Chain A
């Protein structure tokens, strides 16, 4: 009888081409995604070294970071795009890599499109030169972000030299309250255990709450595992996962599907398997979260107040809180609710899927965006955009005064010309509130789509539970 194993151990073992030492393996990569920011440089390195792409059929290129999301966009709509897209097209073409270009129905944010097309599958290894690749653990994949040098190795060899991470189980149990989403749960986890709470670990999310989450919510949950310091986060595939994937363009079909599902079911962590660490969360105690500072760990309940550095657990944290409050122009004890914002951004690989837009539209209802607020909805992919339009969500948003945009990373980071001016405040459904992330001097508050919608209508940070 073999010892009980974790899902991580089973999937990892299936991907080891050879062990290079006790804790470093050469692992096979099943799916490699590459985007306009991380791709061109590594492809040029490959060409400079006169190397071919080993498996162009397992490599998919999507422009998302530098592209404009303005309606009617072209390469010329954003400086970054004008600079990167010609290189991206030439390199992918010469290496034989499929590109979902700006005019392609499949274009979108790489982490949204992968699961949507069924390219990202349970038990697969997925990498991309982007830290939020961990999102795709929501379908039961081991997925993680890599640097440029690693992108080059994957292009050339379809393998990666990786130090094997430790394992962690995060169990989430309890019922979610009204307007509490996967985003709130993961922000709460990071706030409780720190932005490095998961460093060096592969995290399996489990528990009754996770089992009840849709695949889209699981993708959101896994999206922020990198903000928890972890390399990857994933949810074991189950019937919810299989129902989501069935019939998607690149998902297996027929006999292959049955065989795949049988394989995927066997990947679940065995009862009694040992993890290096375990954490537990009672989801019923978590309310909607909003960040006040410059790390996702600086998050509190929307009805809470900015903490006092005098209460910090250690001097380094006290200094970090003081610096963050200075950057964010906030005072200890100040309530977050009621704080005026000039920008609201609903989008990014965290919260741009159809369920996110549904949640936001439900709060918007017949309301109007407050005067003086620039509010944007940026669908995560062209498929999300089409589906939202089929459901009439675009009309809810545009009637309220939101801008309805094309798909891309947009205001999550400031490289496509879509940013927040210095000193102005943005309520954002994205994943990073770092100093300068949304533009030099920009002040970002992270929250869920429901909180973002309520905030847009009021022009002030608002608890969606108060809106109804």
Chain B
């Protein structure tokens, strides 16, 4: 049963964001989480100055208005566990985020929302940033696990199960709900082994 929108292949220009350690407070500031304007105001502090005046940024560049791929630096999505950060990125139209590394919780949240996080070495990210800045197309192929530009094809790794889930649109909750018998068996065995853990039953 597919409950997430499957992701197989994405082709098009990519948005270059050559910054490290973009945290989830920057992607969705808390006051925007509370007023429910996470997509409109995503990356607010990169897009407007303290007085609200616009500052040049890739997200408001019309050449990148329809991009589905975001290329950024190291440690993207670090910080708070707030899933609004991934919802905002998805709401902006992105299906793939390519970075040198990710905050661990953000990385997990991506898979839960059919967004593919791709980890590549700095040199490859540097190449992709240049390609993105030149407005040249990029193809991310999840079946082959490759990122292709006009110049080269770069392989990436993604956990096999996560890849299958994205390709088929499988939802972790649905899979786990079908494991109910195994979960019950685990609890029964655990109650004998660690009685202090199973508080109520």
Which residue from A38, A200, A263, A432 sits with its C-beta under 8 Å from B194?
A: A263
The answer on a CB contact under 8 Å between B25 and A437 is: yes
* A158 cross-chain contacts in B, Cβ below 8 A: 183, 187
Chain A's closest residue to B109 (CB) is: A147
Which residue from B31, B104, B195 sits with its C-beta under 8 Å from A230?
A: B104
Task: Please classify how large the interface on chain B is, using the bins under 10, 10 to 19, 20 to 34, 35 or more.
Answer: 35 or more
Contact with A along B13-31 (1 / 0, CB 8 A): 0000011110101100111
The answer on a CB contact under 8 Å between A149 and B173 is: yes
B residues 183-198 near A (Cβ < 8 Å) are 183, 186-187, 190, 193-198
* A340 cross-chain contacts in B, Cβ below 8 A: none
Q: How distant is the Cα of A425 from the Cα of B9 in the complex, in angstroms?
A: 47
Q: How distant is the Cα of A363 from the Cα of B70 in the complex, in angstroms?
A: 48
The answer on a CB contact under 8 Å between A256 and B195 is: yes
Contact with B along A250-273 (1 / 0, CB 8 A): 111000110110010000000000
A371 at the interface (CB under 8 A from B): no
The answer on a CB contact under 8 Å between A147 and B86 is: yes
A305 at the interface (CB under 8 A from B): no
How distant is B184 from chain A, measured CB to nearest CB, in Å? Answer: 10
Which residue from A57, A83, A295 sits with its C-beta under 8 Å from B21?
A: A295
Which residue from B26, B175, B195 sits with its C-beta under 8 Å from A435?
A: B26
Q: How distant is the Cα of A257 from the Cα of B195 in the complex, in angstroms?
A: 10
* B152 cross-chain contacts in A, Cβ below 8 A: none
B105 at the interface (CB under 8 A from A): yes
* A229 cross-chain contacts in B, Cβ below 8 A: 75, 78, 101, 103-104
How distant is A185 from chain B, measured CB to nearest CB, in Å? Answer: 20
* B196 cross-chain contacts in A, Cβ below 8 A: 121, 251-252, 256-257, 259-260
How distant is B40 from chain A, measured CB to nearest CB, in Å? Answer: 16
A residues 76-96 near B (Cβ < 8 Å) are 79-80, 83
The answer on a CB contact under 8 Å between A415 and B31 is: yes
Residue among A130, A147, A159 having the largest count of chain B Cβ atoms under 10 Å: A147
Q: How distant is the Cα of A152 from the Cα of B83 in the complex, in angstroms?
A: 12
B residues 35-50 near A (Cβ < 8 Å) are 44-45, 50
A414 at the interface (CB under 8 A from B): yes
The answer on a CB contact under 8 Å between A23 and B23 is: no
Q: How distant is the Cα of A451 from the Cα of B160 in the complex, in angstroms?
A: 48
* A21 cross-chain contacts in B, Cβ below 8 A: 159-161
A residues 124-163 near B (Cβ < 8 Å) are 124, 129-131, 144-150, 152-153, 156-159, 161-163
If A146-B108, A147-B108, A196-B78 touch, whether A20 touches B175 (CB-CB below 8 Å) is yes
The answer on a CB contact under 8 Å between A156 and B177 is: yes
The answer on a CB contact under 8 Å between B183 and A441 is: no
How distant is B180 from chain A, measured CB to nearest CB, in Å? Answer: 8
If A147-B109, A149-B109 touch, whether A434 touches B74 (CB-CB below 8 Å) is no
The answer on a CB contact under 8 Å between A320 and B20 is: yes
If A131-B80, A149-B113, A149-B173 touch, whether A23 touches B25 (CB-CB below 8 Å) is no
B200 at the interface (CB under 8 A from A): yes
Chain B's closest residue to A413 (CB) is: B30
A279 at the interface (CB under 8 A from B): no
If A146-B108, A196-B78, A434-B25 touch, whether A24 touches B195 (CB-CB below 8 Å) is no
The answer on a CB contact under 8 Å between A434 and B175 is: no
* A20 cross-chain contacts in B, Cβ below 8 A: 161, 175
A243 at the interface (CB under 8 A from B): no
Chain A's closest residue to B86 (CB) is: A147
Which residue from A79, A130, A434 sits with its C-beta under 8 Å from B23?
A: A434
* A413 cross-chain contacts in B, Cβ below 8 A: 25, 30, 80
* B200 cross-chain contacts in A, Cβ below 8 A: 55-58
Q: How distant is the Cα of A61 from the Cα of B198 in the complex, in angstroms?
A: 17
Chain B's closest residue to A56 (CB) is: B200
B176 at the interface (CB under 8 A from A): yes
A310 at the interface (CB under 8 A from B): no
The answer on a CB contact under 8 Å between B105 and A147 is: yes
Chain B's closest residue to A30 (CB) is: B197
* A44 cross-chain contacts in B, Cβ below 8 A: none
Chain A's closest residue to B85 (CB) is: A147
The answer on a CB contact under 8 Å between B176 and A153 is: yes
The answer on a CB contact under 8 Å between A26 and B176 is: yes
The answer on a CB contact under 8 Å between B173 and A157 is: yes
A22 at the interface (CB under 8 A from B): yes
The answer on a CB contact under 8 Å between B75 and A434 is: no
27 example contacts (A-B, Cβ-Cβ < 8 A) are as follows: A20-B161, A23-B160, A23-B161, A28-B190, A30-B197, A38-B81, A51-B177, A56-B200, A57-B201, A58-B198, A79-B34, A145-B81, A147-B83, A149-B173, A153-B176, A156-B177, A161-B175, A196-B21, A196-B74, A226-B104, A227-B78, A252-B195, A316-B18, A413-B25, A415-B34, A422-B50, A432-B80
Apart from A21-B160, A196-B101, A199-B102, what 14 extra A-B contacts exist at CB < 8 Å? A14-B193, A28-B186, A56-B200, A83-B34, A145-B105, A147-B83, A152-B173, A153-B172, A195-B78, A226-B104, A226-B105, A316-B18, A432-B79, A434-B23
A residues adjacent to B (C-beta < 8 A): 14, 17-18, 20-24, 26, 28, 30, 38, 51, 54-58, 79-80, 83, 121, 123-124, 129-131, 144-150, 152-153, 156-159, 161-163, 165, 194-196, 199-200, 226-227, 229-231, 250-252, 256-257, 259-260, 263, 295, 297, 316-317, 319-320, 413-415, 422-423, 432, 434-437, 440-441
